[in-house]
Amino acid sequence: MAFLDIKNIDVFYGDVQVIFDLSLNINEGEVVSIIGGNGAGKSTLLRTISGLMNPAKGQIRFEDAAIESLPPEEIVHKGIVHVPEGRRLFSLMSIKDNLIVGAYNERADQYMEETLEEVYEMLPRLKEREAQLAITLSGGEQQMVAIGRGLMAKPKILMLDEPSLGLAPVLINSIFETIRKIADQGTTVLLVEQDVNHSLKLSDRGYVLEHGRIAMEGKAQDLLGDPHIKEAYLGI
Amino acid sequence: MIYFIEDAINGILMGSIYGLTALGLTIIFGVLKVVNFAHGSLLMVGMYVAFWTVSLTGLHPYLSLIIVVPVMYGFGYCLQAVVIKPIFKAEKNVREPLTVIIVTTGVWYILDNMTLLIFGPQYRSIQDNPLKGKMIEIGEMMISVPKLWGCIIAIVTAVGVYWFLQKTRTGRAIRATSLDRDAASLSGINQYRIYNMTFGIGTAIAGIAGVTLIPFYNIFPTVGVLFDIKGFIIVVLGGLGSIHGAIIGGIIIGLIESVGPQFMTSTWTEAIVYGLFLLVLFVKPSGLFGVKYDW
């Protein structure tokens, strides 16, 4: 039984179907990438897993319990943590308060102080700036806070939506290094990225999403060598 | 000159009570993004709860707070949970749900008319009022004691609310929800529970304002309307969602109302208040202390 098991889900935005009969699974400790172009349904998939949207059909099971109709706060409580696209920080709150709010769920709240120390250790820049308002940070720093806030929730699966979007190449490297560290500590990671090269190199497996359907899946290395992916996503 | 200072002081005191009525409104707006048209009615309900508490138990008017605050919190919490939440859920993807405004307008009419039905239209005021007509004399100036207490209670409430929002776990969750509902949900916050609590807090503040008013103000079913419109003006003036903006906005309105009549017919002060309101909308739409982005 997979850790997270998605079976045959359909997802709609109003009347528009975005995801078609999609199935996907993630095992404990894996790093899995979902790649695909704009509008392929990647973000919708994450929003559906985290409960911001509900599938019209199909099941999502996590640790052997159905979660497809739970509200987002209960899914966080179970350990699936979604770091949304565009950071979505609490703009007029300090970095520290942003991180503390990340640990709001009861499971994480009891370890809040310790987790905060761990996050500061992994992302020392945040400690230096803990009193600064989130809105005053650069894009790269904001992404670090967003990831830190996700870690504060003590994730069993950390889902990252486009963490490298809009960042300078140097920062992209450091974001991916951070994700590597998180994965090395044993957290399962589901990564949605347009930077296919970076994300597949980091991953164990990958799924290619096209027009709301899984077009291809396999080991990350195999996908990196695949001629279709080279042409469509890597531009080689 | 001495009358001018006396009027100014009394205006500041009364204005801070206006600010207190606006404080509940601004907090509810800041978090739910809903203009609560029932807020004046909640103030009215708060005044009746305080009135009956004082009349039935013989408590000192300000001691009635220990009953009024929890009763009003519970009332606001349930009102949001039962009446407003279903509409919110139906309009989940709308940032500023308009239909909720219509619902709060309905609540306003129902509360006012229910009160009229139950308690009748007569004006009431508390009997054996220990604060009735009490004044402090400073030189030749007369300062109203209940208004002075009202001002102190308003400032203590505002500081307390600010502290609660900044320093407590629930307060942080309320701020987070006001800034980004979805991101708050993704951090494990139940946004509908936060809405219930926020509405409860806003209603409890309306109750506190009611308590500060009953020692010197008549209680009748439509009393809320007088404060409702002022509340909206103050909230816009001070900046939507801003706590100190509400108090300072209230003081500005109070000052204009009390000092104005020395220079003109008192009906003109209304024109100045509304004129100022329009001016702020033109020059600084986010209000004097509002932030450009959000709360």
Q: In DSSP terms, which residues pair with A6 in a beta bridge? A: A24, A60
Instruction: Answer positive or negative: Cα dihedral of B205, A131, A112, A104.
Output: positive
B positions 272-291 inside 8 Å of A (CB): 291
Is B287:B238 a contact under the CB 8 Å cutoff? Answer: yes
Residue A85 pLDDT > 80, yes or no? yes
User: What pLDDT score was predicted for residue A236?
Assistant: 67
Of A52, A108, A135, the CB nearest to B185: A52
Contacts of B171 (CB under 8 A, 6+ apart): B164, B165
In a domain, B143, yes or no: yes
Residue B162 pLDDT > 70, yes or no? yes
Q: How confident is the model at residue A63 (pLDDT cuts 50, 70, 90)?
A: very high
Q: B31 at the A interface (CB within 8 A)?
A: no
Candidates A48, A50, A90: best to mutate against B (most CBs of B within 10 A) is A90
Average pLDDT along chain B: 91
**Tokens in use for A178?**
């951070």
User: What pLDDT score was predicted for residue B96?
Assistant: 67
Is B109:B221 a contact under the CB 8 Å cutoff? Answer: no
Provide the strand spans (E) within B23-170.
135-138, 141-144
Contact B190 A73 (CB under 8 A): yes
Indicate the number of domains in chain B: 1
Higher pLDDT, A74 or A233: A74
A positions 79-108 inside 8 Å of B (CB): 81-84, 88-93, 97, 100-102, 104-105, 108
Contact A104 B187 (CB under 8 A): yes
From the list B60, B51, B68, B62, the residue with the least C-alpha distance to B118 is B51
- Residue whose pair of structure tokens reads 């069993």 in the numeric block: A156
SS3 B164: helix
In a domain, B194, yes or no: yes
In a domain, B283, yes or no: no
Strands A31-35 and A188-193: parallel
Q: Is A236 exposed, middle or buried (0-12, 13-18, 19+ CB in 10 A)?
A: exposed
Give the number of other Cβ atoms within 10 Å of residue B281's Cβ: 13
User: What pLDDT score was predicted for residue B133?
Assistant: 82
State what percent of residues in chain B have pLDDT above 70. Answer: 97
User: What pLDDT score was predicted for residue B292?
Assistant: 57
pLDDT for A23-38, tens place per residue? 999 999 999 999 988 8
Average pLDDT over residues B147-157: 96
pLDDT for B54-94, tens place per residue? 999 999 999 999 999 999 999 999 999 999 999 888 877 66
Q: How confident is the model at residue B288 (pLDDT cuts 50, 70, 90)?
A: confident
Average pLDDT over residues B267-274: 88
User: What pLDDT score was predicted for residue B294?
Assistant: 46
Q: How confident is the model at residue B100 (pLDDT cuts 50, 70, 90)?
A: confident
Of B182, B188, B293, the CB nearest to A104: B188
A positions 190-209 inside 8 Å of B (CB): none
Query: How far is B204 from B46, CA to CA, in rounded Å?
Result: 8
Collect all residues of chain B within an 8 Å Cβ-Cβ radius of residue A105. 187-188
Of A92, A101, A108, the CB nearest to B294: A92
User: What pLDDT score was predicted for residue B212?
Assistant: 96
**Tokens in use for B130?**
């220990």
Q: Is B279 exposed, middle or buried (0-12, 13-18, 19+ CB in 10 A)?
A: exposed
In a domain, B271, yes or no: no
Query: How far is B208 from B43, CA to CA, in rounded Å?
Result: 8
- Going from the C-alpha of B2 to that of each of B9, B139, B251, the distances in angstroms are 11, 9, 20
Query: For residue B137, what are the domain limits?
Result: 21-228
In a domain, B102, yes or no: yes
Of B185, B190, B295, the CB nearest to A92: B295
Candidates A73, A75, A156: best to mutate against B (most CBs of B within 10 A) is A73
- What chain A holds in terms of domains, given with CATH numbers, is 4-234 (3.40.50.300)
Residue B295 pLDDT > 90, yes or no? no
- Going from the C-alpha of B130 to that of each of A235, B55, B134, B215, the distances in angstroms are 83, 13, 8, 8
